Homo-oligomer: A and B are copies of this chain.
Amino acid sequence: MRGTTIRDVARRAGVSIATVSRVQRGSAPVADDTRDRVAAAIEALRYVPNRLGRGLAERRHRAMGIVFPDLSGPYFSEVIGGFETAATDDDHGVMVLSTHGREAAADRVRDLASRVDGLLILGRTVPDEVIRDLHEAGRPIVLLARPPVGDTDAVRAENRATAARLALHLIDVHGHRRIAFLGDPDSSPDGAERWDGFVAAHRSRGLAGPDGPIRSLYRQAEGYAAARLALMAVDAREPPTALFCGNDEIALGTYRAATELHRRVGHDLAITGWDDIPTARYLAPALTTVRQPMRELGLWAARALFARIHGGGGPPRHEVLPTQVVLRASCGCATTPMQEEPER
């Protein structure tokens, strides 16, 4: 019942299993009438080759794995979507593993590695040691939004220069002098680089160094809390006139805090985000942010893995994809009519 095998097909077509295999994958010439008979048998028996048998013989899984911290939020969805598209188009399956801070993550990653031909690892999900082990064991690995470990391949989006450019926009164009940074430079390389660029912008204008970052996880709830903290100005200092948020979700949270504290976003309070998630343009006012090529990150990673799986060696590939400031109304710029927003 469960499992017509190549032998059943061979028997029915009156040929050897080798011939069935040849017909099935077109790997060698087969006489027309033989082919027809085999094809008919395959059709009649609804034969689908067993992937385990095939994989064992071919010594490959035809599958790739992806490790990410958590599926929530648009960023990971997009990256994974890009990865999945590229992998599927190349006839590979995609196995996912979410670590969400679990302790057993390392074991699970090793397990995943034994199920696939190549691995994409996002951010700080996996201890360096595990990555090093797998890499040294010869397993194709690409790191995303994370510095390379040894000579692994890695891809990330540009952060520092764009963060500086965005901060300078607030300083030069809109005249802000007290800008708070909401995020956590320590929690991810991306965050650290954005903070660096933010600080560099202040330096380059000879401004007093900005206050230390207001720590916030990259989620709405934490952004809301951080914004309240920043805007309430418990100490003597005046509250900031602008909030530079580590990502769009933090920015989303700050909108609510701003409303509650009677600050008008885009007028007496500037807010910027990062990622350009789909919601950003639909907020009122629309959110000024930075567009990251999220799908492209996933696509690049998948292609790099293919190159390793098929092509083999070569020097490590490191790629930095460009990012782009998207000015909308939340920083004080004129409102962009919805019609002029490019499709996405």
**Which A residues form the contact surface with B (CB < 8 A)?**
1-3, 46, 48-53, 55-56, 59, 61, 63, 70-74, 76-78, 80-81, 84-85, 88, 91, 93-98, 108, 110-115, 133, 137-138, 219-221, 224, 252-253, 255-256, 259-260, 278-279, 281-284, 286, 338, 343
Q: Which residue of B lies closest to A3 (CB)?
A: B59
- Decide: B98 and A71 in contact? CB cutoff 8 A: no
A95 with B95: CB separation less than 8 A: yes
Known: A71-B80, A85-B98, A114-B49. A256 touches B278 (CB 8 A): no
> Is there an interface contact between A256 and B338, defined as CB atoms closer than 8 Å?
yes
In the bound complex, residues from chain B placing their C-beta under 8 Å from that of A71 are 77-78, 80-81, 84
**With a CB–CB cut-off of 8 A, which chain B residues contact A108?**
88
| Alpha-carbon gap, A209 to B255, bound state (A) | 38
Number of this chain's copies in the complex: 2
Q: Are B252 and A279 in contact (CB under 8 A)?
A: yes
Measured between beta carbons, the chain B residues less than 8 angstroms from A1 are 138
Q: Which residues of B contact A133 (CB under 8 A)?
A: 46
**What are 30 pairs between A and B in contact, CB < 8 Å?**
A2-B138, A46-B133, A46-B137, A48-B110, A48-B114, A50-B56, A52-B55, A52-B56, A53-B56, A63-B115, A70-B81, A71-B78, A71-B81, A71-B84, A72-B78, A72-B278, A77-B77, A80-B96, A84-B96, A88-B97, A93-B95, A93-B115, A95-B95, A96-B96, A219-B278, A220-B279, A220-B282, A253-B282, A255-B282, A255-B283
